Amino acid sequence: MTAAADLLPATRNALSLLLLSMADDEFVIGFSDSEWTGIAPLLEEDVAMSSLAQDEIGHAQALYRLLAEVVDDGCDADAWAYDRPPDGYYHARLLDHPRGDWADTIVRRYLYDTADAVRLEALAGSTFEPLRDLVGKLRREERYHVMHVTTWFERLASATGEPRRRVLDALERMGPDAGTVLTPLPTELALDMAGILDAPMSELEARWRASLAPAFGALDLPVLPPTHDPGTSRTAHSDAFRRLHAEFTSVRWIDPGAIW
Amino acid sequence: MSRISERTLEPWEVFRREKEGDPMRHGGSVMAPDAVLAVHYARELYGRRQESAALWVVRRADIHDLSDPDLLQPPLDRSFKKPGGYVMRDKLAAARERSGADTPRPKSARGPRAATDTP
């Protein structure tokens, strides 16, 4: 399938929700991580984290564009990105955790990027060509993101004293929300039937948890708990997200519709 | 992480190949605590805009430096070691005329021992 018009209405609806969840995930983590610009632990890392954050915004833009094509209701990518109230966003609750300290950011990014990698892998053979092509490009960049964050996660977790203590603390707070990236979507059966996603989200979550087990074992970290309240995994956002939303929409709302 | 001690950071030199076939050229340096992060940072500072086809990252401490002016810039006249004084321009022009080429061949087509026409 090469065009949204070829899809059954139920498939199109389910695909929209999947694209919205992925785009919002990338958009929110991108904006949140961009808060390190200027204050990262060292200059080189400042450039690295800012560039990773920018990559995520770029991925969000590509996903919002595809979403706009699939929904085809006249909203463009910018309207999807900026013109919704906080409760209209559909990102995973893991990303509702604020930037926090460096360990919080690394733990949040590690949990997100490893889960996102499993999700992208499950879409790599999608029957919907525009998504398959985009996922192929996203995976090439996300490979580096996983390398970068794994380096930091492993060195903070295997250090003694403060770095490890902060990682354990962040895992305790974010652990119950870690699985929200792969919580089943209400309409995902249609994606499965159309061959857009290669397995149900519950199986992707099991793959992701299994993929983390060796690293968590080697680093002597506690096993992640099951997802807390999966029914609201992508709704009911935190006050921290409301503040972030006010920030990232502020320029757009100074003069709605302005062009640069 | 509150602070990364200055003591653990050291400079790494970054060499980059702009495109296939080009030589490695020095690009600059990054500060990093070890090779893994040095490679990450080299990628971010010298490759994230697709401006490099390959990078080499070398610990500055592993570079053997030679900058002794007695060895490199001896004070006595060594002009006799330079190929100056042999004016090639006229010979080259004559050779080109014989071969029918009115302009020098493009750089990529020149042989390794391309003649110089600088006196």
Q: Does the pLDDT of residue B6 top 90, yes or no?
A: no
- Residues B37, A163: C-beta atoms closer than 8 Å: no
Residue B116, pLDDT score:
47
Q: How many domains does chain A have?
A: 1
Owning domain of residue A94? 8-225+235-254
Strands of B10-17's sheet in order across: B25-32, B10-17, B54-59
Q: B106 pLDDT band (50/70/90 cuts)?
A: low
Tell me the C-alpha distance between A123 and A155, whole Å: 31
Residue B118, pLDDT score:
44
Share of chain A above pLDDT 90, in %: 94
Tell me the C-alpha distance between B83 and B85, whole Å: 7
Residue B50, pLDDT score:
87
Q: Decide if A44 touches B, using CB distance below 8 A.
A: yes
- C-alpha dihedral sign at A21, A23, A26, A32: negative
- Residues B43, A144: C-beta atoms closer than 8 Å: yes
Q: Decide if B43 touches A, using CB distance below 8 A.
A: yes
Chain A residue with the nearest C-alpha to that of B48: A51
The answer as to whether A46 is a domain residue is: yes
Tell me the C-alpha distance between A91 and A28, whole Å: 7
User: What domains can be seen in chain B, in order of their start residue?
Assistant: 6-62 (3.10.20.520)
Residue B104, pLDDT score:
62
Residue B1, pLDDT score:
41
The answer as to whether A246 is a domain residue is: yes
pLDDT tens sequence across A22-61: 999 999 999 999 999 999 989 999 999 999 999 999 999 9
Interhelix angle for A201-218 vs A102-123, to 10°? 130
Share of chain B above pLDDT 90, in %: 47
CATH number at residue A17: 1.20.1260.10
Mutate to test the interface with A, among B44, B49, B51, B57 (most CBs of A within 10 A): B44
Residue B69, pLDDT score:
85
Q: Does the pLDDT of residue A98 top 90, yes or no?
A: yes
Identify which of B2, B9, B37 has the shortest CB distance to residue A162. Answer: B2
Phi, psi (deg, nearest 5) at residue B31? -100, 135
Q: Decide if B55 touches A, using CB distance below 8 A.
A: no
Identify which of A151, A163, A166 has the shortest CB distance to residue B40. Answer: A151
Determine the average pLDDT of the residues in B55-84: 85
pLDDT tens sequence across A160-190: 899 999 999 999 999 999 999 999 999 999 9
Burial B36-57 (b: 16+ CB within 10 A, else e): ebbbbbbbbbbbbeeebeebeb
Q: Which residues of B touch A45 (CB under 8 A)?
A: 41
Count of beta carbons in the 10 Å neighbourhood of residue A23: 26
The answer as to whether A21 is a domain residue is: yes
- Give the three-class secondary structure for B25: strand
The answer as to whether A241 is a domain residue is: yes
**Above 0.85 for ipTM, yes or no?**
no
The answer as to whether A170 is a domain residue is: yes
Q: Decide if B39 touches A, using CB distance below 8 A.
A: no
Tell me the C-alpha distance between A162 and B9, whole Å: 19
The answer as to whether A259 is a domain residue is: no
Q: Does the pLDDT of residue A203 top 60, yes or no?
A: yes
Identify which of B3, B37, B45 has the shortest CB distance to residue A151. Answer: B37
- C-alpha dihedral sign at A161, A150, A210, A54: positive
The answer as to whether A175 is a domain residue is: yes
Q: Decide if B41 touches A, using CB distance below 8 A.
A: yes
Q: B85 pLDDT band (50/70/90 cuts)?
A: low
- Give the three-class secondary structure for A206: helix
Mutate to test the interface with B, among A36, A39, A44 (most CBs of B within 10 A): A44
Closest among A252, A240, A196, A158 to A14, alpha carbons compared: A196
The answer as to whether A1 is a domain residue is: no
Residue A86: left (phi > 0), alpha (psi -120 to 50), or beta?
alpha
